[in-house]
């Protein structure tokens, strides 16, 4: 596509308002400004949020949510998942004028249906979820260039949703409304539980006398993640794949002694690993039987 055609397909420059300019909202607002839009208003309650507005969105005036909506063509609603529904209902019940305005939330578990109270009075709903962890540090903005967004919207608004994501430097991935919760469960299970697993591994290594667990785990876990992303279950290694039931039983015994709270998760994950390896033909049925016996003891 030539540059002139790309320019014609980009949405017109928008006035942007941010409700909840925390780690996510302040970064997305800054990314939209970098793309040529203007963040004109933000609703910030905490001192941290006000500081982020001052630092990342200096052109935005701080005001109430209804005033943010009034000032904007595109409203980014970047509040926690549990606060999203009540906020949307509150805006609708107080008669906030949203006709013709784009309203985009960034919740992973919700599609655009959560915005129905505003959609019924004229808002144009978008669900734009950045598949990235935000730390509040400066590198958050640069990380957008390597991440995907789960995008969901009514079909007529799909080009706008995708164009906004592209303008922020990211890749739009279309998620249907009915698959939104499954999509989010997959992401949360992978990213959140990964942190827990790594922290637990590091803690156990520390108990085993390893002075720098992170240094030991880094190459191993980096290779395991790379294998999993490239090869799927074919990238599996370790005692479950080998059918080493006695080794697995020994692990469980040691965990009961040193970290009893982690036994249930180890057993559950070992069973899931065995099931997947067996289904893929990587684990022999007789070895799987011995493993299951060890996991039930």
Radius of gyration of the chain (CA): 24
Burial of 149 (0-12, 13-18, 19+ CB in 10 A): buried
- pLDDT for position 136: 80
- pLDDT for position 11: 52
Q: Give the whole-angstrom CA distance, residue 29 versus residue 228.
A: 34
* Residue 271 lies in domain: 183-296
pLDDT band per the 50, 70, 90 thresholds, residue 137: confident
Asked if residue 9 and residue 124 are part of one domain, the reply reads yes
Q: Could you read off the pLDDT of 267-276 as tens digits, one per residue?
A: 999 999 999 9
**Which of 175, 191, 223 is the endpoint of a domain?**
175
Asked if residue 187 and residue 148 are part of one domain, the reply reads no
Asked if residue 167 and residue 220 are part of one domain, the reply reads no
Segment 86-114 mean pLDDT: 96
Query: Taking the CA of residue 238 as centre, how many other CA atoms within 13 Å lie in the half-sphere pointing to its CB?
Result: 16
Asked if residue 223 and residue 85 are part of one domain, the reply reads no
CB 29 within 8 A of CB 42: yes
- pLDDT for position 45: 87
- pLDDT for position 127: 98
Taking alpha carbons only, the member of 171, 164, 172 closest to residue 35 is 164
Segment 260-282 mean pLDDT: 95
pLDDT for residue 3 is more than 60: no
Asked if residue 31 and residue 130 are part of one domain, the reply reads yes
CB 94 within 8 A of CB 66: yes
Asked if residue 141 and residue 22 are part of one domain, the reply reads yes
Residue 290: alpha-carbon gap to chain centroid? 38
- pLDDT for position 262: 94
Helix axes 158-167, 23-34, angle to 10 degrees: 90
Asked if residue 189 and residue 81 are part of one domain, the reply reads no
39 beta partners: 16
pLDDT for residue 281 is more than 50: yes
Asked if residue 70 and residue 45 are part of one domain, the reply reads yes
Asked if residue 154 and residue 97 are part of one domain, the reply reads yes
User: For the chain, how many structural domains are there in total?
Assistant: 2
Q: Give the whole-angstrom CA distance, residue 263 versus residue 253.
A: 9
pLDDT band per the 50, 70, 90 thresholds, residue 7: very low
- pLDDT for position 297: 66
**Which of 153, 175, 197 is the endpoint of a domain?**
175
Asked if residue 192 and residue 155 are part of one domain, the reply reads no
pLDDT band per the 50, 70, 90 thresholds, residue 250: very high
pLDDT for residue 173 is more than 80: yes
Residue 155: alpha-carbon gap to chain centroid? 23
At residue 128, the 3 state secondary structure works out as strand
**Which of 150, 175, 200 is the endpoint of a domain?**
175
pLDDT for residue 6 is more than 60: no
Q: Dihedral, CA atoms, 37, 172, 117, 181, nearest 10 degrees?
A: -150
Structure tokens at 120: 């019924």
pLDDT for residue 146 is more than 90: no
Taking alpha carbons only, the member of 91, 83, 123 closest to residue 107 is 83
pLDDT band per the 50, 70, 90 thresholds, residue 125: very high
pLDDT for residue 198 is more than 50: yes
126: Cβ contacts below 8 Å, ≥ 6 apart: 102, 103, 104, 105, 112, 151, 152, 153, 157, 160, 161, 164
Q: What percent of the chain has pLDDT over 90?
A: 88
CB 128 within 8 A of CB 78: no
Mean pLDDT computed over every residue of the chain: 93
Segment 272-282 mean pLDDT: 95
pLDDT for residue 145 is more than 90: no
Asked if residue 129 and residue 104 are part of one domain, the reply reads yes
CATH number of the CATH domain containing 18: 3.40.50.720
DSSP secondary structure code for residue 234 in this structure: G
210: Cβ contacts below 8 Å, ≥ 6 apart: 216
pLDDT for residue 258 is more than 70: yes
Asked if residue 253 and residue 132 are part of one domain, the reply reads no
Q: Give the whole-angstrom CA distance, residue 198 versus residue 180.
A: 27
Q: Could you read off the pLDDT of 13-63 as tens digits, one per residue?
A: 999 999 999 899 999 999 999 999 999 999 998 898 899 999 999 999 999
């Amino acid at each position: 596509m030539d540059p002139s055609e790309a320019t014609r397909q980009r949405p017109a420059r928008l006035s942007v308002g941010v409700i909840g300019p925390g780690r996510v909202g302040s970064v997305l607002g800054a990314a939209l400004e970098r793309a040529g839009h203007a963040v004109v208003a933000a609703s910030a309650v905490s001192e941290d949020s006000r500081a982020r507005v001052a630092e990342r969105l200096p052109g935005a005036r701080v005001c109430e949510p209804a005033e943010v909506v009034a000032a904007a063509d595109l409203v980014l609603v970047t509040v926690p998942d549990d606060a999203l529904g009540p906020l949307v209902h509150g805006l609708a019940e107080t008669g906030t004028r949203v006709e013709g305005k784009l309203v985009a939330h960034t919740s992973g578990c919700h599609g655009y249906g959560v915005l129905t109270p505003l959609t019924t009075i004229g808002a144009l709903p978008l669900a734009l979820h950045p598949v990235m962890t935000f730390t509040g540090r400066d590198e958050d903005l640069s990380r957008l260039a390597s991440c995907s967004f789960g995008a969901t919207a009514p079909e007529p608004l799909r080009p706008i949703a995708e164009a906004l994501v592209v303008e922020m430097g990211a890749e739009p991935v279309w998620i249907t409304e009915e698959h939104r919760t499954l999509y989010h469960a997959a992401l949360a299970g992978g990213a959140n539980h990964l942190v827990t697993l790594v922290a637990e591994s590091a803690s156990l290594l520390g108990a085993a006398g390893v002075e720098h667990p992170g240094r030991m785990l880094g190459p191993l876990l980096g290779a395991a993640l790379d294998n999993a992303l490239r090869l799927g279950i074919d990238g599996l290694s370790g005692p479950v794949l080998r059918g080493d039931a006695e080794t697995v039983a020994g692990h469980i015994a040691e965990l009961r002694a040193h970290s009893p709270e982690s036994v249930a998760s180890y057993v559950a994950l070992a069973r899931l690993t065995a099931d997947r390896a067996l289904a893929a033909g990587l684990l022999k049925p007789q070895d799987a039987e011995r493993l299951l016996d060890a996991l039930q003891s």
